[in-house]
Amino acid sequence: MDIETFVRGLPKTDLHMHLEGSIEPELMIALAGRNSIPLRWDTADALRQAYQFDNLQSFLELYFEGCRVLVTQADFYDVTWAYLNRAHADGVVHAEMFIGPQSFTERDVPIEALLNGVLKAISDAQSAYGISAGLLISVHRHRSEAEAIAVLDQIEPWQNHVVGIGMGGAERGNPPSRFANFYQMARERGLRTCVHAGEEGPAAYVREAIEVLAVDRIDHGNACLDDPDLVVDLADRGIPLTVCPLSNLRLNVVTDMKWHPLRAMIDAGLNVTVNSDDPPYFGGYVTENLLACHEALDLSIEDIILLVRNGINAAFIAPGERSRLLAKLTNYAGAAVR
């Protein structure tokens, strides 16, 4: 079995991806037409050519423009279904998907349309493919903590269908500690927690995330390597880091995949996972991310299996489901390498 076939067939997780960032160009053009939303691009190819970014902020400008095409419950259903259909084809057995309601409710899109559309697609994909998925509600760090807390209240009627909360957006000037009360309230409501930290922000933001916010997972976390004591702490606690290598490359967090810190993170004993982030924008789903790291960082088959196992262990799922997925991984890997 060649490496691409092996990696694509691995029963994988995708724990760090944004539904708003999973809209393939063809679907974005179609949704814009359906909702009479003007875009700067007339065709999918023209839109795809715009996926050239200098940094996180330049990406976010296009990302938020793309959010405008999601208006109705059917739109949120379609984008969620499209991602889960593609993820299933990619061998993903469990996905955890961010969506940020603030991008939509500020335009008077009803929260009911967003959540009901996403949750119906999750249910239908489970029935059709057996793929499981968890919904993560994300807030924007450039907004106020009071606005973040308002989101918690908005989603309360659906709280039993939400597995956790997170926070994304431009890091610089927006330290995690600004949202300490928000994260405490989320934990009190029984929600699992994660936060984007250490992508473009410093190692100090990763430390704030674990010491002030007490999150269950760190999204990205690359900058932790700048603080050796923090690396030891993260390794000792086993806190998962949801790394997105192709995202880091396309946003110039690293200038070449051969310089990506994933290899160093593995060697340091960190509980690191590989994920897709915003796959159409960054040129790959989970399989492409793993293959790019395999080629650039000389990852072995054992390294790749470790990364996938870490993903299953880091997922916000019940112990029985975790055991089932780990057994599936063991059986697949054993049969493939014999």
Looking up residue 63, the CATH number of its domain turns out to be 3.20.20.140
* Total count of domains within the chain: 1
Question: SS in 3 state form for 4-56?
Answer: HHHHHHCCEEEEEEEHHHHCCHHHHHHHHHHCCCCCCCCCHHHHHHCCCCCCH
Q: How far apart are CA 164 and CA 321, in angstroms?
A: 17
Catalytic residue among 199, 200, 208, 288: 199
Among 125, 189, 132, CA closest to 157: 189
Active site annotation includes 199: yes
| Full domain range(s) for residue 130 | 3-337
Q: Which tokens is 248 given?
A: 């880091």
103-107: which pairs have CB atoms within 8 A and are 24 or more residues apart? 103/20, 103/64, 103/67, 103/140, 104/67, 104/70, 105/154, 107/68
Per-residue pLDDT of the chain (338 residues; tens, 9 = 90+): 899 999 999 999 999 999 999 999 999 999 999 999 999 999 999 999 999 998 888 898 999 999 999 999 999 999 999 999 999 999 999 999 999 999 999 999 999 999 999 999 999 999 999 999 999 999 999 999 999 999 999 999 999 999 999 999 999 999 999 999 999 999 999 999 999 999 999 999 999 999 999 999 999 999 999 999 999 999 999 999 999 999 999 999 999 999 999 999 999 999 999 999 999 999 999 999 999 999 999 999 999 999 999 999 999 999 999 999 999 999 999 887 65
